[in-house]
């Protein structure tokens, strides 16, 4: 029997807690604020940004969307980041990926104040994650949301074999760090990995984040394994599908996240959670 992990339901729970936290902060005169900067007109990005803005507003936060033309220069983007870095009404800054070619993405990531780095991509915050540093700092929302899903379904990574397919800054690397910190034995796979499918079959927890539709099928899954599908891909008919072939995986996996309705809603909910935390932490003296 395969349990379908209901990301929408867990996201609802997380959002309810966020709403409460926003109300508490209001008592202290703080309204959590997020600024999302989007360069160009990538259609998928437009959808995500709209979803984030809607959710933030609904939860009672201050939300700013800054749409910039695809021709924006590195210097212009840096000056807009500097503006939000010194804007006390903004606690979280997110620069939507992908960025046009003239923009140096790592340098943009570095320019965001680590205390306002709502994606958790700044090397300071990534470094803290890797070293399992104590204290408060933002962690990449997609992998963090996945850890929330695992906890909600009583899946403890400790002692388990985890395989993460994908090594991006946004998903694969922070996912591997979180699972390692949670005492899983983690293998990270990527496009140069040999015999990927045999490796996938060793996983008790399999996280797939490649952007390749239906890369993993039921035959590549250990019976009873937990399968987390991060992919947001289009099939031949333009339908939204994941990196895992859901139909063949069902009946083999113990737990599986659907696309849509799995990891995606958790990413947004966790982003809102992180924004509120940044607002809270900004008020703590250190």
d(Cα 133, Cα 125) in Å, to the nearest integer?
9
- CA nearest neighbour of 33 among 48, 22, 23: 22
- Residue of the chain from 15, 63, 97, 180 that contacts ligand GUE (CB under 6 A): 97
d(Cα 108, Cα 97) in Å, to the nearest integer?
11
Cβ nearer to ligand GUE, comparing 32 with 92: 92
Partner in contact with 96, chosen from ligand NDP, Mg ion, ligand GUE, none, beta carbon below 5 to 8 Å by kind: ligand GUE
51 CB contacts (<8 Å, ≥6 apart)? 268
Cβ nearer to Mg ion, comparing 7 with 32: 7
Torsion angle of the four alpha carbons 36, 38, 43, 47, in this order, in degrees rounded to the nearest 10: 10
Per the annotation, the verdict on 52 as an active-site residue is yes
- Residue of the chain from 68, 199, 212, 240 that contacts ligand GUE (CB under 6 A): 240
Given the residues 115, 117, 119, 222, select the one marked as catalytic. 119
Interacting residue ranges for ligand NDP, rule: CB under 6 A? 142, 165-168, 170-172, 189-193, 196, 209-212, 215, 230-233, 263-264, 267
d(Cα 275, Cα 271) in Å, to the nearest integer?
6
Based on the shown chain and the rule CB under 5 A, indicate whether residue 263 belongs to the binding site for Mg ion. yes
> Which pair of structure tokens corresponds to residue 230?
């991060």
Per the annotation, the verdict on 113 as an active-site residue is no
Based on the shown chain and the rule CB under 6 A, indicate whether residue 114 belongs to the binding site for ligand GUE. no
Token pair 């379904």 is found at 153
Cβ atoms < 10 Å from Cβ of 109 = 19
Instruction: Please tell me whether 168 is known to bind a ligand.
Output: yes
Per the annotation, the verdict on 161 as an active-site residue is no
Based on the shown chain and the rule CB under 6 A, indicate whether residue 96 belongs to the binding site for ligand GUE. yes
What values do phi and psi take at 219, rounded to 5? -65, -15
Cβ nearer to ligand NDP, comparing 25 with 125: 125
235 CB contacts (<8 Å, ≥6 apart)? 213, 214, 241
Based on the shown chain and the rule CB under 6 A, indicate whether residue 226 belongs to the binding site for ligand GUE. no
The pattern of x and - marking residues 148 through 187 that bind ligand GUE according to CB under 6 A reads ----------------------x-----------------
Are the C-beta atoms of 184 and 226 separated by less than 8 Å? no
- Binding positions are 166-168
- Binding positions for NADP(+) are 166-168
Site for Mg ion, rule CB under 5 A? 259-260, 262-264
Site for ligand GUE, rule CB under 6 A? 47-48, 51, 94-97, 119, 141-142, 170, 232, 240, 259-261, 264-265, 267-268
């Amino acid at each position: 029997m395969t349990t379908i992990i209901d990301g929408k339901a867990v996201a609802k729970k997380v959002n309810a807690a966020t709403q409460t936290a926003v109300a508490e902060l209001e008592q202290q005169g703080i309204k959590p604020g997020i600024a999302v900067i989007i360069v160009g007109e990538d259609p998928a990005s437009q959808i995500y940004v709209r979803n984030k803005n809607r959710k933030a507003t609904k939860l009672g936060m201050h939300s700013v969307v800054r749409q910039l033309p695809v021709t924006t220069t590195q210097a212009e983007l840096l000056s807009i980041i500097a503006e939000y870095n010194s804007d006390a009404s903004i606690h979280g800054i997110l620069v939507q990926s992908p960025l046009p070619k003239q923009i140096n993405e790592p340098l943009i990531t570095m320019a965001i104040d680590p205390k306002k780095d709502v994606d958790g991509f700044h090397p300071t915050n990534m470094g803290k994650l890797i070293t399992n540093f104590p204290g408060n700092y933002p962690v990449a929302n997609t992998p963090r949301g996945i850890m929330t899903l695992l906890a909600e379904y009583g899946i403890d990574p400790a002692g388990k074999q985890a395989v993460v397919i994908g090594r991006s800054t946004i998903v694969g690397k922070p996912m591997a760090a979180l699972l390692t910190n949670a005492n899983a034995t983690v293998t990270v796979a990527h496009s140069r990995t040999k015999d990927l499918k045999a490796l996938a079959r060793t996983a008790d927890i399999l996280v797939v984040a490649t952007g390749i539709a239906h890369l993993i099928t039921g035959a590549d899954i250990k019976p009873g394994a937990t399968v987390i599908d991060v992919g947001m891909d289009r099939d031949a008919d333009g339908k939204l599908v994941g990196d895992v072939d859901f139909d063949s995986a069902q009946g083999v996996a113990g737990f599986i996240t659907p696309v849509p309705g799995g990891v995606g809603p958790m990413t947004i909910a966790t982003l809102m959670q992180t924004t509120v935390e940044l607002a809270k932490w900004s008020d703590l003296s250190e």
